[in-house]
Chains A and B, each alone.
Chain A
Amino acid sequence: MKAMTREEYTPVRNACKLCSPLGAAFVFKGVANCVPLLHGSQGCSTYIRRYLISHFNEPIDIASSNFTEETAIFGGGANLKLAIGNIIKQYKPELVGIASTCLSETIGDDVELMLRDYKKNDPEKKQPEIVSVSTPSYSGTHIDGFHAAVRSIVNSIAVKGSKKAEHINIFPGMLSPADFRYLKEIFNDFQTDDVMLPDYSDTFDGPLWTEYQKIPEGGTAMKDIASMGNAAASIEFGRILAEGESAGKLLKARFEIPCFSLGLPIGINETDLFFDALKTITGNPAPEKHIKARNRLIDAYADGHKYVFEARAAVYGEEDLVVGLASFLSEVGIIPVLCASGGKSGHLEKKLGEVIPDLKNKEITILEGADFMEIGEAVKTSNPDFLLGNSKGYKLAREIKKPLIRVGFPIHDRLGGARITHVGYRGAQHLFDTISNTIIALRQDDSPVGYTYM
């Protein structure tokens, strides 16, 4: 194993990360009747909208407080107020989710203080809820903005109810709409209620409209978020997340709600832990349907194991996604020869060690805080058979003439990014079939005779 981090300063060349306000916007779009508002320049909102639209192919409205030169000198208070007022007038939201930007943070705008002032003028609470999260783009990446926004919402909205409820809180992290729908199906099959935050399964993957929707239908209901304060338990995905502050930990500290901190349930091993947690919390056995899906998956593993055995994968993306994918790859015999992330939590190596048996003695390169040029250089020695990650790796895949299997976010060069299932037995089935078939297709194409049986 080889872990590499940069020592001397090099500029970033083709970043493998995005800025933190983007992550916060993701989360706010997953709350029912919420309008995200970025406190900064117009460009922040527009660029992030465009970036999301190119992945989801959905209308995505993100408002801006639209800084001017005067705002930058005298502070953004007046603009923020005006923006909130205009959003309320036009959208009539239940929640305005404010994320700061590098600009507002650098000039020292205290959004919390501004909001306290704003709320003073609304003693009867006729206005919608307003939640703010600090997301200076110069610290952390989009995934940090994502988790910070989840935590901020829970911090402001969740309350302790009069009696203990039986529902389970689920903080899934930055997964796809298809993942979210599947997770809800699992909870349903366990005959338990869940509150999932965020839930952009409908807002980012919705139907055509019969009439214009100011805010697309779907998202976690505000009253459900409030009830997170008296849930039976919380489940939170992300082994890296487990090392830092999180919404689940906050609920545990404040309301003594037990928190099951798990890895992203990608592959059988990590999904089993998720199902075990559900069994423990609900007292119910694993539903037959899912046991059958698991059995079929193992059957597929058996059918395909030789094709993928010791195949070499280069995996990149958010750290928790990389850990989840590496766990899955390892359990089917694929070597994640390169595990890279633009994130830099300092925990990637340790967490990979938890899911890859005998990591230390394996020929695996780990890159934290990496950009795509560094990934490209590492690939030269790791020599992978395929790349596994978002569409931004396409340039590299094309250069080294290896297939790219698209997962995660963003997928800007294909349809259906919202419909990829990564998690659970179903997600593993999809990943296993896709990867196996990619490898089989390569061999078939390389064959001088082009055989028609495997």
Chain B
Amino acid sequence: MRNIQILTERKKQIYHKGEEAFEIACEKKSLAGSVSQRACVFCGSRVVLYPIADALHLIHGPIGCASYTWDIRGALSSGPQLHRMSFSTDLQENDIIFGGEKKLYQALVKLIDMYHPNAAFVYATCIIGIIGDDIDSVCRRVTREKGIPVLPVHSEGFKGTKKDGYKAACEALAHLVGTGSIENKSKYSLNIMGEFNIAGEAWTIKKYYEKMGLDVSAIFTGDGRVDKIKSAHGAKLNVVQCSGSMLHLAQIMEKRYGIPYIRVSYFGIEDMSKALYDVADFFKDNLQITKKTKALVRKEIVAISPEIKKYKKILSGKRAAIYVGGAFKAFSMIKALRTLGMKVVLVGSQTGNEDDYKLLRDMCEDGTVIVDDANPLELSKYCLEKKVDLFVGGVKERPMAYKLGIGFCDHNHERKISLAGYSGMINFAKEVYSSVTSPVWQFVPGRSGAYKI
């Protein structure tokens, strides 16, 4: 692939392990003209708050941002489905000139009367500050008039990266936390954070904790409910997954309520078990919890082991590429793929920081390429150079993998298959197996043995 040239400004964001001294630039704004796989601040806020199912999510701005995020996540709710609606103030040219506050107010009042949500989030899109709308004051007014929390989310697309959007979402959530009752909260309760209940994953995790003898106070934000979030400060521990998105809220809660947090991942046998053991360790004054945890982990691993072995036999030695939003997920993916006997040769993330990349470096073998905020050209270049058999990523990477005749596993928030927990590991193995070993790849042009008509 000599014809793919890396832009000079991008070279520092790519590291070849074993070939050069470690140095990787990250946490930068995306380079103009480089086709970043990242989205924007708004996207960060929207994905974090999206699963709160009994809240109204109103997007203040022109129509696009609302259209492109309608029903976009696979985040399931056990009750209300309001989060799957797309609401927009649909600002028009006149509003750009005269301001959109009046429309925002009318929209909120109408929608609250129509749907009776327990809270409302108002997302500011790019132009809101520029046209001078004071969404904070509109939100305060509607809060007063309607008696539910109406929270502004300062998610103007250009004001940073997706990470800043996570932060804005956490700030909005922080306004809710602490406003509910914490009477009768158990000594052994925790909040699940950074788990969005894609394909019911939060339910799987919640069941594990309950089997350990713990109470799950609130889930941020999978199958989320406003009341649970309001009372979340009654929990004794915050267990944070996908640390990029929720760490900020965990830190606020630690400062404000003295609730400690630990970081976990629920992907792969290794990290899933570690998560449960770490949580049990926190509640170690209760020996029952430790005992139950050990039994649970043992039982689950024994249950899935034969099937995992079957897949491992077939997948051993295959080569994988990983490109995900947050680096934390990449750590788990590397381990999970190793469980299947596979080797990771390319790994990257949209939003990793230096510590993340150092850890990735330590985890990877020589010859692995590590990329920050990569573009499709770079990903393709290294997929071909490293002769990758499987790509783990999101929808935007999928067609690229297929075009190159590479198997693909969707690990993004749009997927419909649960990949978390022990049952999720089986699903993951099946996904990988069904793509990597499909007979359709025999027809990939240029591949050895492919018939040429």
Binding site for B on A (CB under 8 A): 9-15, 17-19, 21-22, 37, 40-51, 53-54, 56-69, 71-72, 79-80, 82-87, 89-90, 101-103, 106-107, 136-139, 141, 206-212, 214, 392, 395
The docked-state distance in angstroms from the alpha carbon of A41 to that of B406 is 31
B contact residues, range: 35 or more
Is B278 part of the binding interface, using a Cβ–Cβ cutoff of 8 Å? no
The docked-state distance in angstroms from the alpha carbon of A446 to that of B111 is 39
**Chain B residues whose C-beta falls within 8 Å of the C-beta of A61 in the assembled complex:** 35, 376-377
**Chain B residues whose C-beta falls within 8 Å of the C-beta of A209 in the assembled complex:** 403-404, 445
**Chain A residues whose C-beta falls within 8 Å of the C-beta of B1 in the assembled complex:** 211-212
The docked-state distance in angstroms from the alpha carbon of A18 to that of B400 is 25
CB distance from B242 to the nearest CB of A (A): 19
Specify which of A37, A86, A103 is in contact with B158 (CB 8 Å cutoff).
A103
Is B181 part of the binding interface, using a Cβ–Cβ cutoff of 8 Å? no
Name the residue in A42, A139, A141, A211 with the highest tally of chain B Cβ atoms < 10 Å from its Cβ: A42
Binding site for A on B (CB under 8 A): 1, 3-5, 7, 9, 29-43, 58, 61-71, 85-93, 95-96, 103, 106-107, 110-111, 125-127, 130-131, 157-161, 375-377, 380-381, 384, 395-396, 398-400, 402-405, 443-446
Contact present for B67 and A66 (CB under 8 Å) = no
Residue of A nearest to B31 (CB): A86
The 6 closest A-B pairs by CB, nearest first: A43-B40, A19-B64, A86-B33, A83-B33, A41-B157, A210-B446
Contact present for B33 and A65 (CB under 8 Å) = yes
The docked-state distance in angstroms from the alpha carbon of A214 to that of B400 is 11
Residue of A nearest to B43 (CB): A43
The docked-state distance in angstroms from the alpha carbon of A90 to that of B443 is 30
Contact present for A40 and B33 (CB under 8 Å) = no
Residue of B nearest to A67 (CB): B158
**Chain B residues whose C-beta falls within 8 Å of the C-beta of A138 in the assembled complex:** 62, 91-93, 95-96, 127
**Chain A residues whose C-beta falls within 8 Å of the C-beta of B38 in the assembled complex:** 42, 46
The docked-state distance in angstroms from the alpha carbon of A95 to that of B404 is 25
Contact present for B32 and A83 (CB under 8 Å) = yes
Contact present for A106 and B33 (CB under 8 Å) = no
**Chain A residues whose C-beta falls within 8 Å of the C-beta of B96 in the assembled complex:** 102, 106, 136, 138
Contact present for B63 and A137 (CB under 8 Å) = yes
**Chain B residues whose C-beta falls within 8 Å of the C-beta of A37 in the assembled complex:** 33
The docked-state distance in angstroms from the alpha carbon of A157 to that of B103 is 41
The docked-state distance in angstroms from the alpha carbon of A9 to that of B86 is 17
Name the residue in B29, B61, B68, B93 with the highest tally of chain A Cβ atoms < 10 Å from its Cβ: B68
The docked-state distance in angstroms from the alpha carbon of A47 to that of B377 is 18
**Chain A residues whose C-beta falls within 8 Å of the C-beta of B443 in the assembled complex:** 208
The docked-state distance in angstroms from the alpha carbon of A136 to that of B376 is 27
**Chain A residues whose C-beta falls within 8 Å of the C-beta of B66 in the assembled complex:** 12, 15
Contact present for A41 and B158 (CB under 8 Å) = yes
On whether A50 and B63 interact (CB within 8 A), knowing A41-B40, A90-B33, A210-B446, the answer reads no
**Chain A residues whose C-beta falls within 8 Å of the C-beta of B58 in the assembled complex:** 11
CB distance from A75 to the nearest CB of B (A): 12
On whether A50 and B93 interact (CB within 8 A), knowing A14-B86, A82-B33, the answer reads no
The docked-state distance in angstroms from the alpha carbon of A62 to that of B58 is 27
**Chain A residues whose C-beta falls within 8 Å of the C-beta of B29 in the assembled complex:** 66, 68
**Chain B residues whose C-beta falls within 8 Å of the C-beta of A12 in the assembled complex:** 63, 66, 86-90
**Chain A residues whose C-beta falls within 8 Å of the C-beta of B106 in the assembled complex:** 9, 11
Residue of A nearest to B381 (CB): A212
Contact present for B36 and A46 (CB under 8 Å) = yes
**Chain B residues whose C-beta falls within 8 Å of the C-beta of A60 in the assembled complex:** 399
Contact present for B384 and A211 (CB under 8 Å) = yes
CB distance from B387 to the nearest CB of A (A): 13
CB distance from A39 to the nearest CB of B (A): 10
Q: Given contact pairs A40-B158, A47-B65, A48-B68, enumerate 4 new A-B contacts (beta carbons under 8 Å).
A: A46-B36, A66-B31, A86-B34, A138-B62
**Chain A residues whose C-beta falls within 8 Å of the C-beta of B159 in the assembled complex:** 69
Name the residue in B37, B38, B158, B400 with the highest tally of chain A Cβ atoms < 10 Å from its Cβ: B158
**Chain A residues whose C-beta falls within 8 Å of the C-beta of B43 in the assembled complex:** 43, 46-47
Contact present for A49 and B396 (CB under 8 Å) = yes
Contact present for B87 and A13 (CB under 8 Å) = yes
Contact present for B34 and A90 (CB under 8 Å) = yes
Contact present for A13 and B63 (CB under 8 Å) = no
Contact present for B403 and A43 (CB under 8 Å) = no
Residue of B nearest to A36 (CB): B35
Specify which of B92, B126, B396 is in contact with A40 (CB 8 Å cutoff).
B126
On whether A50 and B4 interact (CB within 8 A), knowing A11-B88, A79-B32, A87-B33, the answer reads no
Contact present for B64 and A82 (CB under 8 Å) = no
Contact present for B399 and A58 (CB under 8 Å) = yes
On whether A212 and B4 interact (CB within 8 A), knowing A45-B35, A46-B37, the answer reads yes
* 5 A-B interface contacts by CB (under 8 A): A44-B40, A57-B398, A102-B127, A208-B443, A209-B445
The docked-state distance in angstroms from the alpha carbon of A264 to that of B257 is 63
Contact present for B377 and A214 (CB under 8 Å) = yes
Specify which of A11, A63, A71, A207 is in contact with B87 (CB 8 Å cutoff).
A11
CB distance from A110 to the nearest CB of B (A): 16
**Chain B residues whose C-beta falls within 8 Å of the C-beta of A56 in the assembled complex:** 399
**Chain B residues whose C-beta falls within 8 Å of the C-beta of A85 in the assembled complex:** 33
Contact present for A86 and B32 (CB under 8 Å) = yes
